[in-house]
Structure 1
Amino acid sequence: MTDLKLIALDTEDLEIISAHAQDAIIRTADMGYAKGDKRFALLMNRFDWESDKPRGKGLRKRSALYFNGVTHAAFAGFDPAAPEGVVELLAIVFEPTDAPSGIIELRLAGGGTVRLTVEYIEARLADLGAAWAAAAKPSHRLD
């Protein structure tokens, strides 16, 4: 079982990270913005789609995701200060404003979002080694 390590420097790279992070579970206490470092980081329990077996429930892996060049972070649809809060990541998208700057949006289940104003795209996703059997395989309605 290999640990995943990815870097995104453009929208295509970010789409790959988004696919690997889809359905990640994140404690709100495990995300934060370091204004002085221009970095937003989070720890997550991502569903390991690449190791999923058709009949099994798959694996979850402890992973870190961070974004550099962040000048502002905004939260909507959930309380980021809730000590026991948990959100589920559905997708990560980039909306350019004045290239290469723009908005990176972390779209969460239930309509919540994390909006990061960035000077450029630079994101890194890395597994941290811990892996365990998932309680259930995520599924989505195709409406």
Structure 2
Amino acid sequence: MSDDARFEDGEDKPLNLGALDAEDLNVISSLAQDAVFPASEMRWMKGQGRFALLLNRMRWEDEAKTRTAPERVQSVLVFSNVQSVASQGVPKGDADTVLSLLAVSFEETQSPSGHVLLTLAGDGAIRLTVEALDATLKDVTRPYLAPSKLRPTHPD
């Protein structure tokens, strides 16, 4: 028998959320907090105006009351209407670098345009200039026990 959790174990359903304003994006940010991903799992599809990340996110929405360890799940975070992408503190050309997402925020410049800021651990950041905010977070695998068996913590 596998140690991996199943959606049926908690009658959970995979997340499939959208954000069209900053308030919606705050919900996605809280669910994607502490997600980890290799730098090779970022894609900017310039011709389509899309930026996507394949994340291994903590299932913050699940308290793991019937399990002994917290879970992660692979999720795709996609931003549409992207006009440009800039980064700071993200190593170029090192696809094996593992990044940790701390927060996602939106700063409106001239309605409905603005900047999406992906704040990374270690002072890294990715800034997306968007024509209008349009983000989705969708779980694409079944949950699995977090390899560390620990939930990330942050100093107060």
TM category (shorter chain) comes to over 0.9
1:91 pairs with one of 99, 103, 125: 103
In 1, distance between residues paired with 2:103 and 2:21?
A: 16
Partner of 2:20: 9
Return the structure number with greater strand share.
1
Name stretches of at least 5 consecutive residues in structure 2 with no aligned partner.
1-6, 8-12
Alignment of 1:1-143 (within 5 A): 1=7, 2-53=13-64, 56-134=68-146, 135=148, 136-142=150-156
Superposition misfits of 4+ residues, deviation over 2 angstroms: 52-57
**Of the two, which has the highest radius of gyration?**
2
In 2, distance between residues paired with 1:41 and 1:81?
A: 18
Name stretches of at least 5 consecutive residues in structure 1 with no aligned partner.
none
In 1, distance between residues paired with 2:92 and 2:40?
A: 7
Per-residue deviation, residues 29-60 of structure 1 (Å, max 9, x unmatched):
00011110000001010000111236843100
| TM norm structure 2 | 0.87
In 2, distance between residues paired with 1:125 and 1:3?
A: 10
CA contact (8 A) 1:61 1:129 kept: yes
Percentage of identical aligned residues? 42
Shift of the alpha carbon at 1:80? Answer: 4.2
